[in-house]
Amino acid sequence: MVHIRDVWVNWFEGEENGYNVCSFIEWRPEDRIEILDQAILVKVSEDLFTYIENDMAELPDRLLLAVHNQSYLRKNMSRIQLDYCFIATDGNRTIAIDTMGYKTPIRKSRLTPRQERMVQELLMQNELETFVFEEKVETKGYHILSPKPEEMIGLTRKERQLKQLLYMALDQLYTTGHDAEVRYWYTEWAPQEYESIQIMDRDEAWEGLFSAVSRGWTSQHYSLCEAMVKGQSFLEKLWELEQGESVK
């Protein structure tokens, strides 16, 4: 068994998509950083790594058995044993996982660049068993509240958060918005298409708007998001929180 000492982790809890597990360069001063006094390192196949990184389904029993009680959290002067916590690598990518006692990857964290280099050095120095899937896993599905990775490529942490907030507003619009309201927001996005939008039915207008905003992130996305969340207390609170975080 191979272990790493003094691992800094910035847990992102309940994230099923790897793009929301922020890299070290995107960590914020207000993030809560913890230190793993000791963490077991395991090598996994590429498809198992992708599964761990981008899902919250149950982990293979053999992997859980291998990492059981092998990692410790340092808290003040105490050393707390963790049930199923480990660092996984496929030889290129690296991620830290804590199941919080369950069988699913509840908490995920990237590593610091120094610790990633250490993982590579340990791989060269040690011959590790590679954990693989023993059963075929179904391809993960994406939807508006769990966007496709390609819709987040190239975006900063703040932009990803705001885009997902915009998607939440669009989802609510689809659920509760009247025909005229859907056409209104599509016109706000594409005023030059006013005449054609006015003869669209509700679903056609919503699909057109969603398709348009799914590409990238611009100042136009920002303005639309800001406008759509106004008057919706829960979404407004999320907007304000993200604005507050970005200026700290």
For 163-192, the pLDDT digits (tens) are: 999 999 999 999 999 999 999 999 999 999
Whether residue 125 sits in one domain with residue 228: no
Mean pLDDT of 13-35: 95
Whether residue 84 sits in one domain with residue 13: yes
- Residue 133 predicted with pLDDT over 90: no
pLDDT tens-digit series, residues 206-227:
999 999 999 999 999 999 999 9
Please, which pLDDT band fits residue 141 given cuts at 50, 70 and 90? confident
- Quote the domain boundaries for residue 33: 2-131
Whole-Å CA distances, 48 to 40, 100, 136, 139 = 17, 20, 11, 12
Cβ atoms of 69 and 1 within 8 Å: the answer is: no
- Answer with the one of 100, 131, 162 that is the final residue of a domain: 131
Selected residue with higher pLDDT from 137 and 28: 28
Whether residue 90 sits in one domain with residue 37: yes
pLDDT tens-digit series, residues 51-89:
999 999 999 999 999 999 999 999 988 999 999 999 999
Whether residue 119 sits in one domain with residue 13: yes
Q: Is residue 137 part of a domain?
A: no
- How many Å separate Cα 183 from the centre of its chain? 31
Whether residue 163 sits in one domain with residue 95: no
Mean pLDDT of 99-122: 97
* Residues making up the chain, counted from first to last: 248
Q: Is residue 225 part of a domain?
A: yes
Mean pLDDT of 45-56: 94
CA atoms within a 13 Å half-sphere pointing along the CA-CB vector of 225: 27
Residue 44, pLDDT score: 97
Q: Is residue 118 part of a domain?
A: yes
Helix axes 219-229, 179-189, angle to 10 degrees: 150
Q: Is residue 113 part of a domain?
A: yes
- Answer with the one of 98, 131, 164 that is the final residue of a domain: 131
Whether residue 127 sits in one domain with residue 42: yes
Whether residue 210 sits in one domain with residue 104: no
- Residue 246 predicted with pLDDT over 70: no
Residue with the two structure tokens 């006015």: 198
Whether residue 108 sits in one domain with residue 8: yes
Residue 248, pLDDT score: 44
Residue 247, pLDDT score: 45
- Residue 34 predicted with pLDDT over 60: yes
Cβ atoms of 1 and 220 within 8 Å: the answer is: no
Q: Is residue 42 part of a domain?
A: yes
Strand partners, 79: 74
Number of compact structural domains in the chain: 2
Whether residue 155 sits in one domain with residue 111: no
Q: Is residue 138 part of a domain?
A: no
DSSP-assigned states of every residue in the chain: -EEEEEEEE--EET--SGGGS--GGG--TTS--EEEEEEEEEEE-HHHHHHHHT--SPPPHHHHHHHEEEEEEEETTEEEEEEEEEEEE-SS-EEEEE-TTSSS--EEE---HHHHHHHHHHHHHS-PPEE--SS--PPPP-BTTB--GGGTTT--HHHHHHHHHHHHHHHHHHHH--HHHHHHHHHHH-GGGHHHHHTS-HHHHHHHHHHHHTS---HHHHHHHHHHHTT-HHHHHHHHHHHHHHH-
Q: Is residue 141 part of a domain?
A: no
Residue 245, pLDDT score: 59
Name the pTM for this structure. Answer: 0.89
Q: Give the mean pLDDT of the chain.
A: 94
Q: Tell me what percent of the residues of the chain surpass a pLDDT of 90.
A: 91
Calpha distance 168→145 (Å, rounded): 7
Q: Is residue 127 part of a domain?
A: yes
Whether residue 127 sits in one domain with residue 206: no
Mean pLDDT of 128-141: 82
- Answer with the one of 99, 131, 163 that is the final residue of a domain: 131
Whether residue 197 sits in one domain with residue 121: no
Whether residue 161 sits in one domain with residue 96: no
